[in-house]
């Protein structure tokens, strides 16, 4: 492998973890007291660059999903290999569409609302359900359901740098307007009306 190819591979390998993990943590930490502004910037950058990169990766014919060392690269799987490659591409595209529809579009609408002088919404309640789609990366995303809101709206809290939110505790959430994205969470000692 040539030196230039190695540099390109290192750059390609480091870009995605940097955009997904390092940049958001730096933004949120650098914001200090106004953590919600850092989280808003981080989410905007992650979804603005992350989703197109995901689609580019899935649609790029040069992307290899079945590596040279994989068992599916053996001659006996030669007939089904293109179908598995196509299936993997379709799954990634479907994931990208779900991420775009479920998170990126509400984020864009919420950011647009903030730019039109709308304020973030404050919601207080007792957590009844907290789940995470990525068990080993619980700081990355948490889904929250509150008891006091009158409905079963699920809120999503991205990049929580503090310890995991706890069940049956009172919290005050700062929600991005016209979306269900939590920008900041503060635990309350007692519930305020």
Q: What is the pLDDT of residue 189?
A: 80
Which residues, 6+ apart, have CB-to-CB distance to 152 below 8 Å?
145
Where do runs of H (alpha helix) occur along 32-174? 35-59, 81-99, 105-115
Fold of 121-187: OB fold (Dihydrolipoamide Acetyltransferase, E2P) (2.40.50)
Q: What is the pTM of this model?
A: 0.78
How far CA 111 is from CA of 44, 50, 63, 171, in Å, comes to 8, 17, 33, 23
Q: What are phi and psi of 173, to 5 degrees?
A: -110, 140
Surface-to-core class of residue 178, CB atoms within 10 Å of its CB (0-12 exposed, 13-18 middle, 19+ buried): middle
| 140 alpha carbon, distance to own chain's centre | 7
Q: What is the pLDDT of residue 95?
A: 93
**Which residues of the chain fall short of a pLDDT of 50?**
none
Give SS3 for 70: coil
Spatial contact of 162 and 151, defined as CB atoms under 8 Å apart:
no
């Amino acid at each position: 492998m040539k030196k230039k190819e190695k540099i390109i591979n290192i750059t390609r390998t480091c870009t995605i973890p940097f955009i997904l993990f390092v940049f958001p943590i730096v933004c949120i930490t650098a914001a200090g007291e106004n953590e919600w502004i850092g989280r808003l910037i981080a989410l905007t950058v992650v979804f603005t660059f992350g989703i197109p990169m995901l689609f580019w990766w899935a649609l790029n014919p040069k992307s290899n999903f079945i590596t040279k060392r994989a068992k599916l690269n053996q001659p006996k799987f030669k007939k089904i290999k293109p179908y598995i490659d196509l299936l993997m591409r379709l799954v990634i595209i479907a994931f990208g569409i779900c991420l775009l529809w479920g998170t990126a579009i509400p984020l864009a609408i919420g950011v647009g609302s903030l730019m039109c002088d709308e304020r973030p919404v404050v919601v207080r309640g007792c957590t009844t359900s907290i789940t995470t789609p990525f068990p080993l990366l619980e700081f990355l995303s948490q889904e929250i359901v509150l008891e006091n809101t009158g409905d079963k709206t699920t809120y999503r809290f991205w990049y929580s740098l503090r310890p995991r939110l706890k069940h049956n505790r009172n919290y005050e959430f700062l929600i991005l307007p016209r979306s269900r994205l939590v920008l900041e969470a503060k635990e309350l000692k007692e519930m305020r009306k």
